Amino acid sequence: MSGFTRLERIPVRILPDHEAISHEVAERIATLIRTRAAEGRQAVLGLATGSTPVGIYRELIRRHRDEDLDFSNVVTFNLDEYFPMGPESIHSYHRFMRENLFDHVNVPPDQVHVPRGDLDREATEAHCESYEAAIREAGGIDFQILGIGRSGHVGFNEPGSGRESRTRLVYLDTVTRADAASDFFGEENVPPEAVTMGVATILEAREIALIATGEHKSAVVKRAVEGEVHADVAATYLQEHPSATVYLDPAAAAELTRVRTPWILGEVSWTPEREPEAVLWLSQRTGKPILQLSTKDYRDNHLSSLVARHGSAGPLNGEVFNRLISKIRGKSKLPSRERIVVFSPHPDDDVISMGGALRKLVENGNHITVGYQTSGNIAVFGHEVRRYLDFVERARPLMELAEHAALSRRVEAVEAHLAGAHPGDVDADDVLDLKRIIRETEAVSALESVGLGSENARFLDLPFYQTGKVRKDPITERDVARCLDFLDETKPTIVFAAGDFSDPHGTHRMCLEAVTRALDAYRGPAPQLWLYRGAWQEWPLAEADVLVPMSAEELRKKILAIFKHQSQKDVAPFPGPDPREFWQRVEERNRGTAELLRSVGLPAYYAMEAFVVLEDGERLATALVPTASLGEGF
């Protein structure tokens, strides 16, 4: 496999999913802790925050609980902390580490080190120096966990960070602040600075694991792994480390050359799945429709072995063209009179990602039930609640509703809570319930716009989401049981679920885990599983199994259904790395898919939704796994 890795300047392991990464890295850490304990020495860990390492920490907690993994000989140093930031703030990395690791294992408190963000500016400089001294006194870091930001930062070493930089106070890059906006309920609430370990400090760790998951990290991962070492992308400095490894899930690895275009690197094993990828790539590279590609085009672009399998370009072009055109299914070719369940992670993902297909499925006489897996209540601003409370007060005389002292007190209490709340604060239960109801009424209104009603909606309110905070609990049997009960009630022949993992907080990934575990436990006939995307990414043409065309009018109606989610309109609380409204993203992606089809010589449609279809669990565990061998490195 050396030919597939020669562009990678650092060892890379591609594992099936976030859980597999967490298990492998946690195993390495557990081995280190036990080895150091046997030697009578401390294990010094460099720790990171954010959603990426949470799975590792949960696995370490499990090993502590179930396998007696002893943390008493562990010393920890965290990478960074926002500035200014009090340690008890809901956004503090001190608090994050307590909630996600330290409160659940027996690491001594005096052996825990997290940079402070609550000192004044002058004292912070001295604190940074003492932090470096503490690392040296501990004997240096044995194992350092890193994530990577879209700007290529590790820790908060933003573009321009030098190779010799040490722990210091830094200004956060615009991209970093935009990505953190979801945690802080608005970019304006993100602290402008942070205290971070420097590049030199990180590189002195004896072993480093950089972890990245999700499609939104794929571009910067490629730059960090395959690009030249440069201060603009601090992660590239890891190429100089003798014992650094990059751990990726398939989505984060998607842009690596050995995954995206392995034929550039050497001979590949051609499969029915890989051939369309290569032909589509060649069509776009040459600017020619598929049916006009010549044998010379293939030979001039590293694809001689592919065209040789078919004798000449003509048969290959025709085969791929026919396979692609067979994926296009208008209304008449979509399921009819089936029992269909749509799992929607949030109360708007159904219409955002498959609003066009949903309308056609309704028109085809299918019995459709939409299961909204989470309430989405934390994504509702306080002003939305106040607007509805004001409506109730103003409607009271018109509806001849009597004054009710208890109701008035409840309204006053909610208004007082909202008036005193700060961005990111956990809401009172009453407020969370009101926000949940707002999302539910919007979801029903959107369903009505595609021809369904409230009787077609089920609000599953999965327990993992009910933290009141951005960060959620892990999926448990309680979540799976609710999904399974829903399947038992509806007995579907077809199930739709979200297959996009670029949700910045992982809710979509967790919801799919709940669905797949429920399907594994379901005792009825195995339904066909259709995976949709659209909120952040769309299925590539080569990967999609079904392409559902939409006219301009059908796309307009889909967008109007998205508009029913008024609380998410204009300024969504959790937009992710793309600041545009969801309807704008949808319009671009659906039209972009159709335009790509047209550009490679297929019929010209106005817009298109894409789906991957899995039969009876087929490809379920590896639906997003790249063709390159899992775990390959060098």
Q: How far apart are CA 223 and CA 229, in angstroms?
A: 9
Buried-state track 289-313, b at ≥16 Cβ within 10 A, e below 16: ebeebebebbeebbbebbbeebeeb
Mean pLDDT of 104-112: 98
**Contact of 308 with 315, CB cutoff 8 Å:** no
Report the candidate in 357, 486, 425 with the shortest Cα–Cα distance to residue 185. Answer: 425
Q: Does residue 192 have a cis bond before it (omega within 30 degrees)? A: no
Residue 40 has pLDDT above 90, yes or no: yes
**Contact of 447 with 571, CB cutoff 8 Å:** no
Any idea which of 83-97, 106-120, 564-578 has the lowest mean pLDDT? 564-578
Q: How far apart are CA 7 and CA 60, in angstroms?
A: 33
What percentage of the chain has pLDDT greater than the value 70?
92
**Contact of 354 with 341, CB cutoff 8 Å:** no
DSSP sequence for 558-604: HHHHHHT-GGGSSS-S--TT--S-HHHHHHHHHHHHHHHHHHTTS--
**Contact of 216 with 207, CB cutoff 8 Å:** no
R_g of the chain, CA atoms, integer Å:
26
Q: How far apart are CA 212 and CA 254, in angstroms?
A: 12
pLDDT at 294: 98
Tens of pLDDT along 74-85? 999 999 999 999
Residue 324 has pLDDT above 80, yes or no: yes
Q: Exposed, middle or buried by CB within 10 Å (0-12, 13-18, 19+), for 118?
A: middle
**Contact of 275 with 584, CB cutoff 8 Å:** no
Average pLDDT of the chain to the nearest whole number? 91
Residue 624 has pLDDT above 60, yes or no: no
Residue 4 has pLDDT above 60, yes or no: no
Q: Exposed, middle or buried by CB within 10 Å (0-12, 13-18, 19+), for 583?
A: buried
Q: Give 158's Cβ-side CA count (13 Å radius).
A: 14
**Which pLDDT band holds residue 398 (cuts at 50, 70, 90)?**
confident
Beta strands in 213-335, from DSSP E residues, in sequence order: 244-248
Query: What is residue 25's DSSP assignment?
Result: H
Residue ranges of the alpha helices (H) in 118-217?
121-137, 174-184, 199-203
Amino acid of residue 500: D
**Which pLDDT band holds residue 429 (cuts at 50, 70, 90)?**
confident
pLDDT at 626: 41
Report the candidate in 445, 469, 458 with the shortest Cα–Cα distance to residue 492. Answer: 458
Report the candidate in 80, 142, 134, 87 with the shortest Cα–Cα distance to residue 111. Answer: 134
Mean pLDDT of 262-284: 94
pLDDT at 132: 98
**Which pLDDT band holds residue 474 (cuts at 50, 70, 90)?**
confident
* Total residues found in the chain within this entry: 634
Q: Please report how the helices 349-363 and 429-449 are oriented relative to each other, as an axis angle in degrees rounded to 10.
A: 30
pLDDT at 21: 97
Report the candidate in 421, 448, 430, 510 with the shortest Cα–Cα distance to residue 473. Answer: 510
Residue 126 has pLDDT above 60, yes or no: yes
- The SS3 assignment for 269 reads coil
Q: How far apart are CA 196 and CA 213, in angstroms?
A: 22
Residue 437 has pLDDT above 50, yes or no: yes
Q: Is the C-alpha dihedral spanning 266, 271, 275, 278 positive or negative?
A: negative
Q: How far apart are CA 522 and CA 519, in angstroms?
A: 5
Q: How far apart are CA 80 and CA 477, in angstroms?
A: 34
Active site residues: 158
Q: How far apart are CA 86 and CA 408, in angstroms?
A: 36
pLDDT at 577: 63
Q: pLDDT: is 372 or 4 the higher one? A: 372
Mean pLDDT of 135-152: 96
pLDDT at 502: 65
Tens of pLDDT along 352-383? 999 999 999 999 999 999 999 999 998 898 88
**Contact of 265 with 259, CB cutoff 8 Å:** no
Residue 115 has pLDDT above 70, yes or no: yes
Residue ranges of the alpha helices (H) in 41-173?
54-67, 93-100, 121-137
> Which domains does the chain possess?
2-257 (3.40.50.1360), 331-380+428-614 (3.40.50.10320)
Mean pLDDT of 542-563: 97
Q: How far apart are CA 43 and CA 556, in angstroms?
A: 59
**Contact of 308 with 302, CB cutoff 8 Å:** no
* C-alpha 282, offset from chain centre: 30
Residue 1 has pLDDT above 50, yes or no: no
pLDDT at 630: 42
**Which pLDDT band holds residue 632 (cuts at 50, 70, 90)?**
very low
Residue 23 has pLDDT above 90, yes or no: yes
**Contact of 373 with 343, CB cutoff 8 Å:** yes
Report the candidate in 463, 471, 440, 423 with the shortest Cα–Cα distance to residue 376. Answer: 440
Q: How far apart are CA 140 and CA 144, in angstroms?
A: 10
Q: How far apart are CA 587 and CA 562, in angstroms?
A: 11
DSSP sequence for 328-387: B--GGGS--S-EEEEEESSTTHHHHHHHHHHHHHHHTT-EEEEEE-S--GGGS-HHHHHH
**Which pLDDT band holds residue 617 (cuts at 50, 70, 90)?**
low
Any idea which of 61-65, 152-156, 434-438, 619-623 has the lowest mean pLDDT? 619-623
**Contact of 600 with 581, CB cutoff 8 Å:** no
Q: Could you count the other beta carbons within 10 Å of the beta carbon of residue 562? A: 22
pLDDT at 569: 87
Cβ neighbours for 477, distance < 8 A, ≥ 6 positions apart: none
Q: Which helix (H) or strand (E) holds 390?
A: helix 382-398
pLDDT at 216: 84
pLDDT at 376: 92
Q: Which residue has the tokens 């945690």?
A: 183
pTM over 0.85: yes
Any idea which of 80-94, 220-234, 606-620 has the lowest mean pLDDT? 606-620
